[in-house]
């Protein structure tokens, strides 16, 4: 079966980042077979969708997320010690496979609605996350967290590895879900454990490794005090600073750290809103990209960043670099969209399959409705996407040739049921918070 999408403002996100007016995309099954300008080829029996000038671009890539934490969105937002007062006690008490499923489904609804087709996740009971991504029809890299702080799903490191082995077994050969292992951070996963993960990863070459890295002042202090090193150096010492490591945050990276990271060929997931909301600072994205590091645009978990779409990140991503550079010039719109698509795919090691609209790649694409008055006029679609568009402008979403959303209705998840399940958990959280407030 051939599908032709025609009359698009086509942003294929190929290296030159062209804007193709009256563009078309030809799809056979799950694969793109042709793209171009002008009228689409005439193909017998093909289904044709005329998108009337709307933007068609690759589905976006969110390379760092904690999907299940939708259930914590806005919880204790202005409470100074919310992590120790609410979040950790709630996680200890309530994080179960069922809770992870409920929160991840709510996240999947939001991600699809906002045009994100591929997400990298790190949380607990990660097999559940993979299952939800599978049922939602999305693409995902699902990372089982390994940490020392007695996390909700593994009392020992051995138990963490066992969960990871289950995850790897469940998704072996899956076309869209990739199992991953996720040492939490240099301060929360012992250096010996990180080294064990490095050796495990040697034996599992198809399993990406994700880590939180160089995110906080307290992490800098911890690494200095315990190892006399910077966070990047601790990870290096553990043998983990290696090709393909997906590093989230990377705020506190010096020139020499960036050199090490580039030499090691790691990748970076930039979480602009989450970092700024915590007052942590601005990651040196321009410097990292100049050094050749691929940098994707990520949302972090919704407790930290509150939204899971990338549109909410675009203006912060570029504004922060302009503020750092004290100039209007850094990080033009076209680079932001490159990061949200093909560069994000490179961060996850998936750029051979997704991230741009090219023959041979998977048909992961989105259609953006340009009719809202707040988007008009359009002089440059990249500027419009970065500074004016919002997740609600996404109209249709396709992954691997299958529609996940048409006319703003997500087809793969039962919206009402998903909301009902999520709000049930939130009600339990609220009751527990009331109990905590009464006790403390």
Site for its own copies in 349-408 (CB under 8 A): 372-374, 376-380, 382-384, 387-388, 390-392
31-37 own/partner pairs: CB under 8 Å, 24+ apart: 31/360, 31/361, 31/362, 31/363, 31/401, 32/357, 32/358, 32/359, 32/360, 32/361, 32/362, 32/363, 33/2, 33/359, 34/359, 35/10, 35/357, 35/358, 35/359, 37/10
Return the HEC string of 35-55.
EEECCCCCCCCCEEEECCCCE
Furthest C-alpha separation in the chain: 71
Q: Are 236 and 264 in contact, with CB atoms under 8 Å apart?
A: yes
**Closest distance to its own copies from the beta carbon of 103 (Å):** 10
279 near its own copies, rule: CB under 8 A = yes
Cβ nearer to its own copies, comparing 243 with 329: 329
Cβ nearer to its own copies, comparing 116 with 198: 116
**Closest distance to its own copies from the beta carbon of 125 (Å):** 20
Q: Which member of 23, 63, 76, 115 binds its own copies (CB under 8 A)?
A: 76
419 near its own copies, rule: CB under 8 A = yes
The piece of 39-47, 244-252, 317-325, 353-361 that touches its own copies (CB under 8 A) is 317-325
Q: From residue 415, give the alpha-carbon distance in Å to each of 98, 113, 249.
A: 17, 11, 31
- In angstroms, the CA 101 to CA 167 distance is 15
295 near its own copies, rule: CB under 8 A = no
The piece of 24-32, 67-75, 199-207, 245-253 that touches its own copies (CB under 8 A) is 67-75
Helices (H), 301-440: 311-325, 333-338, 344-347, 381-387, 415-439
- DSSP state string for 218-266: HHHHHHHHHHSS-HHHHHHHTT---TT-EEEE--S--HHHHHHHHHHT-
284 near its own copies, rule: CB under 8 A = no
Q: Which member of 69, 106, 213, 288 binds its own copies (CB under 8 A)?
A: 106
Q: Which member of 12, 23, 58, 114 binds its own copies (CB under 8 A)?
A: 114
Q: Which member of 100, 138, 334, 398 binds its own copies (CB under 8 A)?
A: 334
The piece of 110-118, 185-193, 203-211, 359-367 that touches its own copies (CB under 8 A) is 110-118
Cβ nearer to its own copies, comparing 17 with 157: 17
User: Measured in whole angstroms, how far is the alpha carbon of residue 338 from the centre of its chain?
Assistant: 14
276 near its own copies, rule: CB under 8 A = yes
**Closest distance to its own copies from the beta carbon of 384 (Å):** 5
307 near its own copies, rule: CB under 8 A = yes
Pairing mode of beta strands 409-410, 402-406: antiparallel
90 Cβ contact list (under 8 Å, min separation 6): 72, 75, 429, 432, 433
Cβ nearer to its own copies, comparing 71 with 340: 71
Contacts to its own copies by CB under 8 A: 70-71, 73-78, 80, 106, 109-110, 113-114, 273, 276-282, 306-309, 312, 315-316, 318-320, 322-323, 325-330, 332-334, 372-374, 376-380, 382-384, 387-388, 390-392, 415, 418-419, 422-423, 426, 429-430, 433
């Amino acid at each position: 079966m051939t599908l032709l999408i025609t009359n698009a403002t086509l942003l294929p996100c190929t290296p030159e980042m062209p804007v193709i007016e009256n563009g078309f995309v030809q799809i056979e099954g799950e694969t793109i077979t042709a793209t171009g300008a002008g009228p689409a080829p005439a193909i017998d029996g093909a289904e044709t969708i005329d998108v009337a000038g709307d933007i068609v671009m690759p589905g976006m890539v969110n390379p760092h997320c904690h999907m299940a934490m939708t259930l914590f969105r806005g919880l204790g937002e202005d409470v100074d010690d919310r992590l120790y007062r609410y979040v950790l006690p709630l996680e200890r008490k309530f994080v179960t496979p069922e809770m992870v499923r409920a929160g991840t489904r709510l996240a999947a609804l939001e991600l699809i609605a906002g045009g994100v087709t591929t997400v990298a996740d790190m949380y607990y009971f990660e097999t559940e996350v993979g299952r939800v991504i599978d049922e939602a029809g999305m693409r995902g890299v699902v990372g089982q967290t390994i940490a020392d702080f007695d996390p909700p799903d593994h009392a020992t490191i051995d138990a963490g590895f066992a969960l990871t082995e289950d995850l790897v077994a469940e998704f072996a050969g899956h076309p869209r879900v990739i199992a991953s292992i996720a040492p939490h951070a240099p301060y929360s996963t012992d250096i010996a454990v990180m080294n064990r993960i490095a050796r495990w990863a040697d034996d599992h070459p198809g399993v990406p490794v994700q880590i939180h890295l160089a995110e906080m002042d307290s992490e800098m202090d911890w690494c200095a005090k315990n190892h006399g090193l910077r966070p990047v150096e601790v990870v290096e010492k553990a043998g983990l600073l290696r090709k393909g490591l997906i590093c989230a945050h990377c705020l506190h990276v010096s020139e020499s750290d960036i050199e090490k990271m580039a030499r090691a060929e790691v990748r970076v997931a930039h979480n602009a809103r989450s970092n700024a909301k915590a007052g942590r600072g601005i990651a040196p994205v321009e410097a990292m990209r100049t050094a050749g590091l691929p940098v994707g645009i990520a949302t972090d978990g919704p407790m930290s960043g509150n939204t899971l779409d990338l549109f909410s990140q675009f203006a912060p991503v570029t504004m922060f670099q302009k503020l750092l550079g004290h100039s209007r010039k850094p990080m033009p719109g076209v680079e932001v969209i490159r990061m949200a698509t093909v560069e994000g795919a490179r961060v996850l090691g998936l750029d051979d399959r997704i991230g741009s609209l090219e023959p041979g790649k998977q048909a992961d694409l989105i259609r953006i409705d340009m009719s809202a008055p707040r988007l008009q006029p359009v002089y440059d679609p990249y500027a419009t996407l970065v500074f004016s568009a919002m997740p609600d402008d996404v109209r249709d979403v396709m992954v691997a040739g299958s529609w996940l959303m048409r006319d703003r209705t997500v087809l793969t998840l039962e919206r009402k049921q998903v909301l009902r399940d999520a709000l049930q958990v939130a009600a339990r959280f609220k009751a527990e918070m009331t109990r905590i407030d009464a006790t403390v």
